[in-house]
Structure 1
Amino acid sequence: MPVGEFPLVGRDAARAWLDRARDAAAAGHGGLVVLTGEPGAGKTRLAREAVRGARAFRTVVVSCTGTEPLGPWTRTVRALTADDAEPAGVDRAFLRALRSGADLVLAADDDPGTAGRQLAEDVTTLVRRRAARRPLLLVFDDVSDADEPSLRLLTELALTVPELPVLVIATARPADVDWHGHLAARARLLRAGTAVPVEPLDGGAIAALLRYAGAADDHGRVAAVLARTAGNALFVTELLRAPRTDTLPMSVRALVDDRVAALPPAARPVVAAAAVLGTPIGTDVLAAVAPAEGFRGGLGAVLDAGLLTEAADGTVGFAHEIVRDAVYDGVPAADRAVLHARAGTVLADRGTDVAAAARHLARAGPAYRARAAELARQAGDRAAGRLGYADATGWYERALALSGDDTDRVSILLARAEARAAAGDPDGSRAGYLDAAVRARALRRPDLLAAAALGLGSGTAGFEVTMLDGTQLELLTEARAALPAATPLRALVTARLSVASSVLAGDAERSALAAEAVRDARASGDAGACAYALSARCDAHAGPDHRVARIADATAMLALAVQLGDPPLELLARRLRLVGYLEGGDVDAADAEALAFRTTAERLGRPLYLWYVPLWRGMRALMEGRTADCAALLADACALGDRAGSRNAAVLTRTQRWCLLAATGDRDGVAELGAGLDPDQFGTVWPYVTLALILAQTGRVDAARARLDAVAPRLPSAPRDSEWLPMLAQVAETVGVVGSHPVADPAYRALAGYAGMWVVEGIGAAVRGPVDRHLGLLAAARGDRAGAATHFAAAERACVDVGATLLAAEVCRDAGRALGDGGRLAAADRQYRALGLAAEGAGPDPVFRSDGEVWTLGYEGRQVRLRDAKGLRDLATLLARPGRPVAALDLATAYTRRPATGDAPGGVEGDLGEALDATARRAYRQRLAELEEELADPADPERAARQRAERDALVEQLTTAYGLGGRRRRPGSPTERARTAVTGRIRDAIRHIEAAHPPLGRHLRGAVHTGTFCVYEPEHPVRWQVTRRF
């Protein structure tokens, strides 16, 4: 730590005042500057720095402390005349007396007023004479301690110096009490000069001092120093000289001890009680804790001394926490314990600040530990009620440290675990619940064991229950077996067991548990247990067959939750109702439910509930095609879900992201998301269907078909739960991409009974549209065009009726693809463009698919079938590799067992010689290089078109002249024969295509180039779904 002075920081404004005043005085225009500030603010240091900067001045620095009359002026006159053997101008009696330190004695006929004026004139004359030799700087330190005659004399001088090269600097404390009753003299003095306040140091100045002291200047350290010192420069620097900034420097302790010792005896117990209580303090509380005798007088003395200050609201407190620390440190330990006991008892009896009461009783000794633990628990409960979950956790930990009762400790552990969960610490929460379970089992308390088991699933409200959690299931099963039947707690445990058994238990077992929970809850007459049991029944009956019953149960649950004033239960009921309304296509009712959910969730402020709000708003935005809004809301949902540590949030935001990426045609994004999907981790069928659809959406049609082939036999055994309807919808969408599939018929029959409903992903993550949309896709795949048209029309009407614009466009697109209806595809294209989405998203992916002997070719919404031909196989190879040349020799030999071979070295029998001589080849190559360089930055489009035409002609000439691997072609070689054969059969295939499908034929004629190397190069990129089976 520094042993010398710290640098002067944070004083730029005050130093600027002093510099301007010094420069003016040097020019003959002096003045008085009064530096005001609390003790330790740094006034004296500033004055000292001014002296250092005034090298051209003669300086005199005097202290105004002391009791002798005119003492400051005695020291000033001595300093001004110290270098004169017989000082001129000190021939007046008063000045001689001042210089010698003798008492000033008036003659019997002297008038005191006249004498005072004469003294002032004499002093001014002395100052004037000395200033004539050299500019003067006079510093009067602590002028607020000066006697009144000294203040009058200083005021008289101040009125004179504006005409002299004299700068007078005075330092003074601002409080009335510091002027010892000389308030009128203070007023006159301040009017005669300029008051410059010396403010407390701010965070930036403290950070600079920390750096100078070699300490970390992070925000937390700066804030801690500022909080203890309130920026008082003396306290800051003394604190930084200490080994640690959280200690109490002995220098500060000594300073404060002196100030306390100077108090009257009745004031010392008051300041001690204030130090124990902390600040700010109501005077009524302080009066109840401090000794009653002499309290009022003692408090007044402490205020007068400046140890305590009084705020506008009537409370009192220490201006600096470090002063409070010093006073507290000076109170004997036994006296502190008594005062803490008294303070804790007073505050606990009043009930207004149980946290403070707990803190005091915790320091009052062993006799008060149990009461302190009880109050700490109450403080934690109150903090949790105000959403201060981190504070609540801290109070519960204090209660654990204080409590000696094993049962109470389990109860506190449960409360702490719940607070940790609410604060976004799922791991800490789980550890706490498991600890509580172990202790509850040892105490043979099934009620506490049940509470721990319920806590693992987000508390009695069960808003988000962890699935596939064997430990949770074991605890629930153990607690259920130990609890008496028909009790609220057993009903809650049984209901939770039904929910937590999802995936692991069959539908019948879960339904039986939920029914038992409802019976027990109703028999117990407990409204909360009834509400939660109904939610368990909704969860067990989450499939489409029970939609109406689920809404009825959720509505009854909502009424109970409102009656109980239980917000988490209310949110759970509203969540269930929202999903039910969406499944029924009642979007208005779902929107109203989402708004009510948002109101309650925002009041609670917990991320566990809040993340659903942007998720559902994003879902609605996606239905309407507001994809940018959906992306922004999805980011909010992810952030809140991460803070909550919610597994549901991770799954549902991922689902919404998938649907958003698919809707906007982002195949790369869909592929990346699908790469992270491990269907084995879910223990059910639907993830395998999801993976098939992702493969289809990213153009991997063969892989999608294979995945659909594999999962199709498992579909009939899939549980008819909340995932069943989305699963079959995904089957239908996959079939819509891969084409006819055996699964289409059973899937259609399974879905047919749910026409009129809507498909909802998860808990409202996304809406796939009406079931009729998916029935239309499956009907078309079965060959039922009329049925498909009817379903599509119903689906489109339903989407339009609720304003689901993007879903309406998707239905129109699906209908156009499935029915080969160009008009619908054109309409879908317009709808997509109106939403600002790429036109590609509205058009069907072109298809070039072989089913063995027959090829299915789809383009611009129309499909045709052609018999197998080698030219079609060649085209399939090229379409699968757009922009990448394929050797004609490779195409010619691709469908035989014989490997492709090139020209033999030295020529092939029957060669007719090289097609181009060496000079021509070199010229062609050079011109091609020039063209490629010029085309790299086509400033002139017309010129670029001519250059491309010239390049293509040169390439045609070179491909005619060169064979495979760059060897010079000889007429009649195998490469030449392959070029001729492949060119012929590709052109023949295009003629047949053009006859059956003119737009496709025209497209291929312009985009396919043949020669020694063949290539498919469309003017605009086209995503083909190519399937080759030959």
Structure 2
Amino acid sequence: MELHRRFADALEHRHVRGAAVVAADLARHCAAAVPLEGGDRAVAWARAAARADVDRLAFGEAAAHLGRVRRALEDAGMTGGVVVDLLVEEAAARARAGEPGARALLDDAWERATALADPERLGAAALGVQRLGARFATARDAVVTMLETARAALDGTGTALEAQLTASLARELHHSVPEQRARARPLSERAIELARRRGDPATLAACLLARHDVLWTPGRAGERIGLAREIVELAVRSGDGERHAEGLLLHANALLEEGSPAFRAALADYLAAADGFGQPRHDYLALTRRGALALLDGRLDDAERLIAEASDLGERIGEPDAGNVRMSQLLGLVRARRDPDRLRATAAEAVRWWVGVPSHAYAVAAGLLAMAGEPADLEAARRALDTVVALDAWRGDRSYLWSVFVGGMTTAAVRLGDAEVCGQLLVELEPVAGSCGVNGALVCFAGSNAHWAGILAAALGRPDDARRSLTRALAVHRRLGAPDWVAETEREMAGLDAPARAAADAELRRDGEVWRVRHLGASSHLPDLKGLADLAVLVARPYTDVHVLELAGAGHHERDSGTLLDTTARAAYRRRLAELDEDLADARADHDLGRTEHLEARRDALLAELGRAAGLGGRGRPLGSSTTERARKAVTARLRDAIGRIASVHPELGAHLRSSVLTGTVCRYEPVERWTWET
């Protein structure tokens, strides 16, 4: 120890003479000499070494310097306030390095500050815990309790620390479970009042951030743009690079909510700032936002890769909200991909994941299941939507998740034909139809709210309102450069025109080695596809269930292992017959002779299909059930591909077929309106 002290003396003497000295060397020698001379010199040089390492982005080494001197003080029996300070500083360095253990260090600092009855050190420890972050929409009781305790200890002091604690408490309450959010607004207002009295730009920026988050609700992006700009300006004045980057991201997010393409410039500024930090957490945040941009741009393969990379990095560094961000971006990805299996899997994962916000979870699941589209999916979507309605919380939960789950509810309510829910949703959406939904701070774009309002208006029989809203949404989506959303809005607009063309003219005919597709006078030729042949069979027999084995070419080959009508197929026929019987009963009760005749014809056709598929005595004709399942998957994929090819050259015809062709063990072409086909 004496030798370490003499080395430290010699190095300090050299430093005084102006020679180059490495702070880390002095810190190490001084820490070893703590039992001989106390801790003042050791702490000073450890902090100097940590600052030097932070300047070169070596946060793990900075934490090591602080940890070494802290342990030296503890070993020497020195456990006062300086140890609390070192614990907080070491935790911050470890968090910036993406290393584990920061929370344990802060909990230790909290216990020591409590024992010392030191309000300022309590506040420092509480702010350190709050900066670590937490998963959105889950109770943050421990963090909230720490912030409330520290704030109470400083109540009335008017210090910068009191203002920062008040602002941090407001943010935590707003991002916690919905029941906590009402308390956030008055606290954010109090924090700004305290900060403006202090005149400290760093403190005011922190308090404006809390105010921004309290206003983070649909339709208020314009107010938040001003706050984000002020945060950026204050961060520049105070030299706080991380706060500056945060303000840039919030500015970009608010611009996107406003439907402004200027969000791209603001996002580029943010990404440049985040890349410059060289910190794992900022690398993670930049990756997630690049994934969001790829989703918006329609670069789905890039988006999937970036989402996976960000999720892996987030897990490695212990980012608490990494799972939420991954799930939010997966919603956008599977919606764009439209693969039924992934839609179902993501719906189930959403219910498991968002336990803190069940309205959001079940609304998302309802939308994804409705998109999957099989009869069983629609039944599950009905249950999920009923759950959201029964919880009766979706109107009040106006966090940045609102537009996402309202989109899910809209998709489900329209596809299920639930006019009551459609009407309720439209009332809520119309006041914010001029803005867009964005999940989180530019985590995932959720479409123009006018898009959802237009879909709802169409479902409620208000075509003029629907056209106005969808035209507005289409302009926004084109302006933002969002091709998948442009295509989706165009499909909805094409659907508006279908009823007006009561005798729509369409042709699907094989012409040698190609297929001729014609719609309203415009003709195209497509290469031969099995799905086009399947489609030709369906449109030639509208309102008729056709078993997938007939489409697959297996319907005339009897086998010994199973039946042509397996359990799933028989259940599908029974459900369809029951639906027709209910419709017939209603038509007869209304004395609607035309509808009664139409439904009786459909029922007779279905019974004829059942008779062809059944064997003697109503028993299923032999054929393997595994064959049926393989045929179902193959035919579904073939039809989806064929309709996609048609949509690429005749978007309106493609939109009609998507909504009219039902797939499953039995398939059916069921147009809502009358169409004239040549096949």
Question: Is the structural similarity TM-score above 0.5?
Answer: yes
Partner deviation per Cα, 1:501-545 (whole Å, 9 max, x = no partner): 122545442111100011011111111111011110111111124
Q: Return the offset for 1:418.
A: 0.9
Q: Secondary structure at the match of 1:759?
A: strand
2:234 maps to amino acid: L
After TM superposition, the structure 1 stretch with the greater mean CA deviation from structure 2, 519-528 or 356-365, is: 356-365
Q: 2:166 aligns with which of 494, 501, 523?
A: 494
Instruction: Provide closer, same or farther for how the CA distance between residues 418 and 592 of structure 1 changes in structure 2, counting only shifts above 3 A.
Output: same
Instruction: Provide closer, same or farther for how the CA distance between residues 614 and 954 of structure 1 changes in structure 2, counting only shifts above 3 A.
Output: closer
Question: Does 1:1010 pair with 2:613?
Answer: yes
Contact 2:136–2:324 (CA<8 Å) still a contact in 1? no
Question: Does 1:1020 pair with 2:623?
Answer: no
Instruction: Provide closer, same or farther for how the CA distance between residues 647 and 342 of structure 1 changes in structure 2, counting only shifts above 3 A.
Output: closer
- Aligned residue for 1:673? 346
1:450 maps to amino acid: G
Instruction: Provide closer, same or farther for how the CA distance between residues 515 and 1003 of structure 1 changes in structure 2, counting only shifts above 3 A.
Output: same
Instruction: Provide closer, same or farther for how the CA distance between residues 995 and 594 of structure 1 changes in structure 2, counting only shifts above 3 A.
Output: same
- Aligned residue for 1:775? 453
Contact 1:383–1:389 (CA<8 Å) still a contact in 2? yes
CA distance in 1, matches of 2:13, 2:541: 88
TM-score (norm 2): 0.73
CA distance in 2, matches of 1:641, 1:839: 44
- Aligned residue for 2:290? 617
Contact 1:755–1:772 (CA<8 Å) still a contact in 2? yes
- Aligned residue for 2:26? 357
Q: Return the offset for 1:818.
A: 6.7
Partner deviation per Cα, 1:360-417 (whole Å, 9 max, x = no partner): 3344574344222331232123223322121122111111123335111110000111
Q: 1:645 aligns with which of 312, 315, 318?
A: 318
Partner deviation per Cα, 1:272-296 (whole Å, 9 max, x = no partner): xxxxxxxxxxxxxxxxxxxxxxxxx
- Aligned residue for 1:367? 36
Contact 1:693–1:731 (CA<8 Å) still a contact in 2? yes
1:399 maps to amino acid: V
CA distance in 2, matches of 1:627, 1:377: 46
Instruction: Provide closer, same or farther for how the CA distance between residues 405 and 1027 of structure 1 changes in structure 2, counting only shifts above 3 A.
Output: same
Contact 1:417–1:433 (CA<8 Å) still a contact in 2? yes
Structure 1 stretches of 5 or more lacking a match?
A: 1-332, 847-858, 867-871, 886-944, 966-981
Partner deviation per Cα, 1:42-94 (whole Å, 9 max, x = no partner): xxxxxxxxxxxxxxxxxxxxxxxxxxxxxxxxxxxxxxxxxxxxxxxxxxxxx
Structure 2 stretches of 5 or more lacking a match?
A: 507-516, 567-576, 585-594, 640-660, 667-679
Instruction: Provide closer, same or farther for how the CA distance between residues 665 and 1006 of structure 1 changes in structure 2, counting only shifts above 3 A.
Output: farther
Question: Does 1:345 pair with 2:20?
Answer: no
Q: Secondary structure at the match of 1:619?
A: helix
Contact 1:740–1:782 (CA<8 Å) still a contact in 2? no
Instruction: Provide closer, same or farther for how the CA distance between residues 470 and 687 of structure 1 changes in structure 2, counting only shifts above 3 A.
Output: same
Q: Return the offset for 1:564.
A: 0.9
CA distance in 1, matches of 2:564, 2:253: 66
Q: Return the offset for 1:993.
A: 13
- Say what the alpha-carbon RMSD is for the aligned residues: 4.4
Q: 1:544 aligns with which of 212, 218, 221?
A: 218
Contact 2:202–2:238 (CA<8 Å) still a contact in 1? yes
Instruction: Provide closer, same or farther for how the CA distance between residues 954 and 777 of structure 1 changes in structure 2, counting only shifts above 3 A.
Output: closer
Residues matched between the structures, number: 565
1:396 maps to amino acid: L
Instruction: Provide closer, same or farther for how the CA distance between residues 504 and 451 of structure 1 changes in structure 2, counting only shifts above 3 A.
Output: farther
Q: Return the offset for 1:719.
A: 2.4
Structure with the higher helix share, 1 or 2:
2
- Aligned residue for 2:121? 448
Question: Does 1:736 pair with 2:407?
Answer: no
Contact 1:347–1:356 (CA<8 Å) still a contact in 2? no
Instruction: Kindly report which structure 2 residues correspond to 1:462-861, keeping only aligned pairs within 5 A, or say none.
Output: 468-483=139-154, 484-502=156-174, 503=177, 505-587=179-261, 589-677=262-350, 678=352, 681-683=355-357, 685-699=359-373, 700-713=377-390, 714-715=392-393, 717-817=395-495, 820=498
Q: Secondary structure at the match of 2:445?
A: strand
Q: 1:398 aligns with which of 68, 73, 91?
A: 68
Contact 2:354–2:360 (CA<8 Å) still a contact in 1? no
CA distance in 1, matches of 2:663, 2:126: 52
Partner deviation per Cα, 1:763-810 (whole Å, 9 max, x = no partner): 222212211110121112212223223222222222223321111111
Q: Secondary structure at the match of 2:131?
A: coil
Instruction: Provide closer, same or farther for how the CA distance between residues 535 and 524 of structure 1 changes in structure 2, counting only shifts above 3 A.
Output: same
2:23 maps to amino acid: V
Contact 2:359–2:394 (CA<8 Å) still a contact in 1? no
1:709 maps to amino acid: D
Q: Return the offset for 1:359.
A: 2.1
CA distance in 1, matches of 2:555, 2:463: 46
- Aligned residue for 1:969? none
After TM superposition, the structure 1 stretch with the greater mean CA deviation from structure 2, 731-740 or 513-522, is: 731-740
CA distance in 1, matches of 2:505, 2:300: 23
Partner deviation per Cα, 1:222-281 (whole Å, 9 max, x = no partner): xxxxxxxxxxxxxxxxxxxxxxxxxxxxxxxxxxxxxxxxxxxxxxxxxxxxxxxxxxxx
Partner deviation per Cα, 1:722-748 (whole Å, 9 max, x = no partner): 222222222112223323342000110
- Aligned residue for 1:904? none
Contact 2:66–2:89 (CA<8 Å) still a contact in 1? yes
CA distance in 2, matches of 1:431, 1:466: 23
CA distance in 2, matches of 1:495, 1:473: 12
Instruction: Provide closer, same or farther for how the CA distance between residues 754 and 1025 of structure 1 changes in structure 2, counting only shifts above 3 A.
Output: farther
2:387 maps to amino acid: A
1:731 maps to amino acid: M
2:613 maps to amino acid: T
CA distance in 2, matches of 1:414, 1:338: 27
Instruction: Provide closer, same or farther for how the CA distance between residues 1008 and 666 of structure 1 changes in structure 2, counting only shifts above 3 A.
Output: farther
Q: Secondary structure at the match of 2:82?
A: helix
1:539 maps to amino acid: D
Instruction: Provide closer, same or farther for how the CA distance between residues 797 and 372 of structure 1 changes in structure 2, counting only shifts above 3 A.
Output: closer
CA distance in 2, matches of 1:499, 1:338: 47
2:27 maps to amino acid: A
Contact 1:450–1:493 (CA<8 Å) still a contact in 2? yes
Q: Return the offset for 1:633.
A: 2.2
Partner deviation per Cα, 1:621-653 (whole Å, 9 max, x = no partner): 222322112122223322332333223332112
CA distance in 2, matches of 1:642, 1:539: 25
Contact 1:777–1:814 (CA<8 Å) still a contact in 2? yes
- Aligned residue for 1:935? none
1:710 maps to amino acid: T
- Aligned residue for 1:322? none
Contact 1:792–1:811 (CA<8 Å) still a contact in 2? yes
Instruction: Provide closer, same or farther for how the CA distance between residues 665 and 964 of structure 1 changes in structure 2, counting only shifts above 3 A.
Output: closer
- Aligned residue for 1:229? none
Question: Does 1:413 pair with 2:87?
Answer: yes
CA distance in 2, matches of 1:337, 1:360: 5
Q: Return the offset for 1:684.
A: 5.3
Instruction: Kindly report which structure 2 residues correspond to 1:209-288, keeping only aligned pairs within 5 A, or say none.
Output: none
2:30 maps to amino acid: L
CA distance in 2, matches of 1:357, 1:686: 55
